[in-house]
Structure 1
Amino acid sequence: MSLRHRSVAIRALGLIAAAFTIISPGQSRADCGFSMVALPDTQNYVNNVNHAPLFTQQTQWVADQILQDGNPRNIQFVSHLGDLVSSGSSQTQWNRAVASMDVLDNVVAYSALPGNHDYASTGNKSTGTANYVANFGPQRYAGQSWYGGADPSGNNSYQRFSAGGYDFIHMALEYQPSVNTPTRDPSPIEWAQSILDANPDTPVILSTHEHIDDDPPGRSGTGEQLWNQLIRGNDQIFMVLNGHFHSVGGTNDGEYHQVSMNDLDRPVFEVLQDFQDYPNGGDGWLRLIDFDIPNDRIVFETYSPVLDQFQTETVNDVGPFASFFELSIDFASRLTPMFIPPPPEPDLVFRNGVDGYAGTRDKEIRSSGGDSANGQLGSISVDGDDGSPGAQPNQGLIRFEDIIGGGPSRIEPGTRIEKASLVLEVINPGSGFTVHELLVDWDESSTWQELGNGVQANDVEAVAAPVAVLGSNNSSENIGVGPLEIDVTTTTQAYLDGVLTNLGWVMIPYASGTNGVDFLSSENTNILLRPALQIIIPETSTLAGVAMASLIIMLRRARV
């Protein structure tokens, strides 16, 4: 990975004031807002004895700002975004990370969370976080009034702080919290939801390790799962911070931001920061986030207390890869959470063996051969390499027949639907895959060879643009065990409108996705865990769907 070389400048105090909330003598801190600090990916400090002091310089700068310099930025919270260490099994590295973070004790509220390098084996969640919990588990914060608590695993925690006239919760979630590995009850997402449910009126800043990437820009597969499973449906969450990604390389490596709209069409600020590709393990760069309450804006800057320099590239220079940018926010409105009702239950569920439906067709096709009878297997594997000699990928095919037509168990042609979801029960976690609309016919006796060396997403055999991107192009467990919901609304609506033939979907593994994802098939003996197509139909629909919509309305009323 090439090192970043960005324009930097040392700013005079007057220029700093343009971005940061400077507290004047006698001036109310609540009137002026406050700041927080994000510390991403410190693994390349602690894995080198010569670089380790830079980590301590970061935390010491924060402590000095608060204790010696009058706290001009009114720093109220510090969030470490994970990858405290490079090797989760190295006690030497943990000792260095602890020494650096100890500087913040009894100075400011702060959090840490496990990144992929903080597991015993990097990125392998099943190997656990024993060293992380021993050093940064709940016992570390005993007696701290701002510490809210942790889940039973000790990996996920929340903190409270008050600043700028508001009370906040900060939530720190482990690397890929949507992947519940090892299996825990409650899962990380369930635990986080319980904290949100118990604090419906408190705005929340969420930190996690992996969420949005800089290349390709946007959410990762597990970031999308976190968005769908937790963030979009909880209006308390207004900001998400993460590290981990440093994919784009060159001068824009490791920084990206986007503004997304939740289910109430209210903004959520998603911000990536990761400086591990800089010289000396990161050159001390960190993120300063200023909540400028009087001017209804949040200002983000990248600063190195080691170099005493700010990075100066703005949105005008490099767009969303900027180091210095501001986001507008109506604090009074956005920090007053609103209730988002849970999504409605599906009106129709197509699943083999339920209510007489028998139209699901699914199939695993193997490049290694032997797949002629795979339409009768109890599970399907989507894998970049199934373990045979050489690169031997497996693809998955699935289709739901006989869903369109008259009658209570079908959908009238032309009906407008609100949502369609393909639900798969994952039994073996793995890398991930992309989902594409099929353009060629097939049946459960089709083979890899008959389909032309598998299905190609080339706009001839399958649509090139994916319907869904799930997981990541690596060998980690990016998709966890349990229900996997895939939004197929666009495809299903196209079937109903007659503009696309119902040939189903193909699941194509990533080239480097050699950790196969296995899910139960329509032949599995557990009927309720077979693949399902779930349909939600709005109470108003097109004329072509009036009969079906009327039936749905009657059914809904009957439930009350």
Structure 2
Amino acid sequence: MERRNLLRAAVAAPAATLVTAAPAHATPANKFDSSSPRFAIAVLPDTQYLFDADSADPAPLRETFGYLLEQRAEDNIAFLTHLGDVTEHGTEQEIVLAGQTFSRIDGKLPYSVLAGNHDIDGSKDDQRGPSAYLSTFGPQRQRRSKTFLGASKDGYNSAHLLEAAGRKWLILALDWRISDSGLAWARETLTKHQVPTIVTTHDLAYADDGGLAYLSGNGQRLWDQLIKGNDRIFLTLNGHYWPPGRTVLKNDAGHDVHVHITNYQDRYYGGAGMIRLYRFDLVRNRIDVETFAPWFLARDPARRTPLEAETIELTSDVDRFSLDFDFGARFPQAQPAPRPAAQVVDRHTAAYWRFDEKGQSVADGATIRDLSGRGNHLTVRRLANSTDQTLTVSAEHHPGAPAHASLRFDGGKGPDRGATLQTAAGAPITTAKFLDGYTIEAFVKLPEPFEGDHAWMGILSWEGRAGDAGKHSGWSDLEPTCSLNVSGERFLQYVLYSEIGDHNPTSWSHALPTGVWQHLAVVNDGRRSVVHVNGSKIARNPTQPARGIATLGRPFVIGATSFDLKYGQGFYGWIGDVRITGRALRPEQFLPGGHFR
């Protein structure tokens, strides 16, 4: 269940329901998918009132840590960052108790922690020397984490390098009062690691009652001497002040830097170990932020006090919000080199076509070679009312595609406008039955804007009337025996007439987005077919038997679907690499290598 929905349900649901939605040990605590384009960073502000001399109560923080471990796989939590003021007085007693509480996540969830003015002698900068805080939370503890990159010589500033969404991210955890030498260390770290960076510290900005943030005196120093001149810094997080707030500043490159204050020590039970989750989504180019208290979330709703109930989740526009952020534009990554065909072809490959061959022609009659070595070469043919521009070679491609090229089809119902790529009638793929299973893959992109009527356009198909194969269970005896199409609502449709039996299982996807590359895969294990979009299984995959493909020796076609052996329209958009494999593949074996964007 999505976390936000779980929080809604928790307000009214009995405790047993909550446990069902988020079981304590449903997945391994340390499971984190660094290749997923979606991940979360947890932010924990001032916990000082939970570690206050003989008034200390670490129970809320223990619950928060337990929650993060239990939910790490589901929410794909990469990291936790504490914003300082771990304790109220910085005494050895308080610090030791806090250290014992943090041991709950040592080695299980990477985290950073930094000194706030209540943890050390706040009148001095990071050159203050030894302290109970440094003895407990210094580099000797942090270097146990795989993400720990290093610390300044004084030990009060640390750097952490994460791998998430298939790329690296830097988190700088800076002391309450960083010195000039500390700033030099931070600048050197940024120079060595040119990756997207989040700066965390205790004192950087404060907010007015409306939630608008302003740089503090110390924040202005950090802005002038570190942040505004380093374009890799896109987000700053600090505690210390309340109420929470946010603003957006422009750096020297003219880019946005999001400045956020997170602090709830003024709330009931000193904030009760309340956390924020920053959910990064590199598919949607968004960061979704939510704030809640796991300690209260775990309580039986029927027994929550009024203050507990109102503090489960904070929903103001400085506590729950979303940011549009184009990560690819702000932090472009070097494109991987094209992969040669030999890297994606093996003995199971039945056919593989790509469109990056030097001097590749798409004139009528031109040949596009089958790189599997099995002779399923394609011939270019335009429909009656088409021009040279109906089919062109394009440099556009899916980031995970082996070939850095595609074909741009400008088909439509215009009438008979489009282009097809057809095998010869006797090519091996035209009679292959695939009784033991198969995988069909294609990279596809629909134009933005998506103009005109393109309902039921075909991406690829095997020609042949279903009735001629003795199949009468489907919509029409005149439709082909196997086709992958796009409906008027842009739903992906996979229609199949099985070789064994008169079955016509049809799969349907959600509406495909426009302007974004999609990887499509049909996987058949010899029993049923399952369609995937970007590595994710779609919902509407029928359980009907689906063994083999009722091929009739007629051409395999890319760019259109026939009806009664005739073509009335062609595909509209881009098609990249197409591969057919004679066995069922797992998503990590698909052409993008398990990495989808």
| TM-score normalised by L of structure 2 | 0.47
Higher RCO, Cα 8 Å, sep 6+: 1
Which structure has the bigger radius of gyration? 2
| TM-score normalised by L of structure 1 | 0.49
